[in-house]
Amino acid sequence: MTIRWPDAVLRPQNVAFDIAPRSLAGPSSVSGITQVVSSDAGIWKATLGNIIIKSRNAVLAHRAISALLEGRLGTILVPLCRAYQPVPADSDALYEDVPHSDDALFDDDTGYVGTVIDVVAAAPAAVRAVSMTVTVNYAGDIEPGQHFSLGERLYRVRSFDADTGAMTFRPPLREAVADGDPLNFDDPVCLMRLASDDAMNLELALRRFGSPTVNFIEAV
């Protein structure tokens, strides 16, 4: 089972998710023209910056994740926040944490959370496709720049036609999509690994407080 970054315990102050293009360029000619050749198979890179560490739980969680990942060997699901997603109007209350039957929450003070946005593939799509047709059952406005995940793979909307359901996205599909597969706009995640073996190093002030920055790259 793939572990997930516990953003409720290790909350970053700065977050960046970007697609790193794969390009090659030759030297400039006398006229100043440069030829650039680029692949469409860019990979995700992410930075969780200035993570707030000021409690025992946060210190131990950071150390535990470091031990589980063992540098770049292991993989982890890195979630995005829900900001800027196509959340329907007046639906924020539907995302509130639901406790156990005895009104208790989990140890990190979170509860069960369901999905709200309902968007599914309207037709199959092949591996490396950069477009598909979707059916929007319940959602706000889907716009370029928003994110969704299929399984453990992350994608960014490039264009969307609300009349036809035609959507383009980047990067290309990592896995084939079947008719009816759900697009996760509520809680998009990306399967990643540490960008370097020492990315989880933790320096603590007074052995208690820290604000590390962790860099990831997509596991492909």
> How do residues 158-193 score in pLDDT, each as one tens digit?
999 999 999 999 999 999 999 999 999 999 999 999
Could you tell me the two tokens for 149?
A: 């995940």
pTM of the predicted structure, to 2 decimals: 0.84
Q: 196, 215, 190: which is closest to 73 by C-alpha?
A: 196
Tell me: do 157 and 207 sit in the same domain.
no
Tell me: do 58 and 115 sit in the same domain.
no
Could you tell me the two tokens for 92?
A: 């924020």
Q: What is the CATH number of the domain that holds 57?
A: 3.30.200
Q: Look at the chain and report how many structural domains it folds into.
A: 2
For the chain, what percent of residues have pLDDT higher than 90? 72
Tell me: do 118 and 199 sit in the same domain.
no
Q: For residue 129, what pLDDT is reported?
A: 96
* 158 neighbors 173 (Cβ within 8 angstroms): no
Tell me: do 88 and 181 sit in the same domain.
yes
pLDDT averaged over the chain? 89
Tell me: do 103 and 167 sit in the same domain.
yes
Tell me: do 170 and 91 sit in the same domain.
yes
Q: What is the CATH number of the domain that holds 96?
A: 2.40.30
- Domain extent, residue 126, equals 83-187
Could you tell me the two tokens for 182?
A: 């759900």
- Give tens-digit pLDDT for 53-108: 999 999 999 999 999 999 999 999 999 988 899 999 877 656 666 666 666 666 65
Tell me: do 40 and 102 sit in the same domain.
no
- Is pLDDT above 90 for 35? no
Could you tell me the two tokens for 192?
A: 């990643």
Q: For residue 107, what pLDDT is reported?
A: 63
Q: For residue 55, what pLDDT is reported?
A: 94
CA dihedral 78→91→105→51, nearest 10 degrees, is: 30
- Give tens-digit pLDDT for 134-160: 999 999 999 999 999 999 999 999 999
d(CA 67, CA 51): 18
Tell me: do 108 and 139 sit in the same domain.
yes
